[in-house]
Structure 1
Amino acid sequence: MMVGIVIISHSRTLAEGVAEVARAMGVGQAVVEPAGGDSEGRLGTSIDLVESAVAAADGGDGVLLLADLGSSVLTARMLIEDSGGEDVLLADAPLVEGAVAAASMAATGADLAAVHAAAEAAFDHRKTR
């Protein structure tokens, strides 16, 4: 079993691209599901798409959500509230860097708390220092 990861974005293309990069950095071991755009493929967010992605990513060890901004964050929070939030966490992390860090950690078999911490630690990796 492994912690799953869901990428929530207003853009289907962005969510799929971030998921692709994160899977590669998770050496093909990490389960990373995209949930981007609204239910018709336009810009927006869809609780139904997020719920489906969480179900697909959930291998029994919990699911980490990473969201881009605005309503994506609100959608993630709503899902956590509706589900009771025990096995689903939202990371306060940069989308791409957090997803890569989370996938790398998940691939090691780490628990949800460690994957969550890895995603949030991505803020510490500066690009210009």
Structure 2
Amino acid sequence: MTKSVGIVLVSHSVDLAAGLKAMLAQIGSDTVPVVAAGGTSEGEVGTSYELVAKAIDQADHGNGVIVLPDLGSSVLTARTVLGDHPRADIAVIDAPFVEGAVAAVVTAASGGDLDAVIAAAQEARHVPKF
């Protein structure tokens, strides 16, 4: 079986990243490597370059990785990590954190390639709630 695209959840909050990861597991992401990189290395609110870099390595199973940050400095941290270690098969995605992650996991679990997973996460921005 082909390995799926990996997903890294970057949040200022350990709990938010872990909670979203748990939700994704409940909707069937057991075939998709989802790694949470929430908070600082000390477990405080913030972001950590080291945690993001480690999460990317853990999520990388050879089919690409998307990095989905929540806001502000998590975006800057993710972009800095990729700027320092550029790879064509890893992308920071501008998408809603929860909706984008769900769309990405569903697409990755169904065998979507990196481009399809990126598109699904980004398109989640335009799905109305009602």
TM-score (norm 2): 0.94
**Number of corresponding residues:** 128
Paired amino acid for 1:48 = E
The whole-number CA distance in structure 2 between the counterparts of 1:31 and 1:23 is: 10
Question: How far 1:22 sits from its partner (Å)?
Answer: 2.0
TM-score (norm 1): 0.94
- The one of 32, 40, 44 equivalent to 1:38 is 40
The whole-number CA distance in structure 1 between the counterparts of 2:29 and 2:96 is: 20
Matched, 1:9 2:39: no
Identity, % of aligned positions:
50
Q: Match of 2:56?
A: 54
Question: How far 1:27 sits from its partner (Å)?
Answer: 4.1
The whole-number CA distance in structure 1 between the counterparts of 2:6 and 2:29 is: 14
Deviation string 1:53-103 (CA, Å, 9 cap, x unpaired) is 111110001110100111000011111111113111111110000000000
Paired amino acid for 1:58 = D
5+ residue gaps, structure 1: none
Paired amino acid for 2:35 = E
Segment drifting more, 24-33 vs 65-74: 24-33
- The one of 74, 77, 89 equivalent to 2:76 is 74
Matched, 1:29 2:31: yes
Paired amino acid for 2:85 = S
Segment drifting more, 92-101 vs 75-84: 75-84
Structure 1 ranges of 4+ moved more than 4 A: none
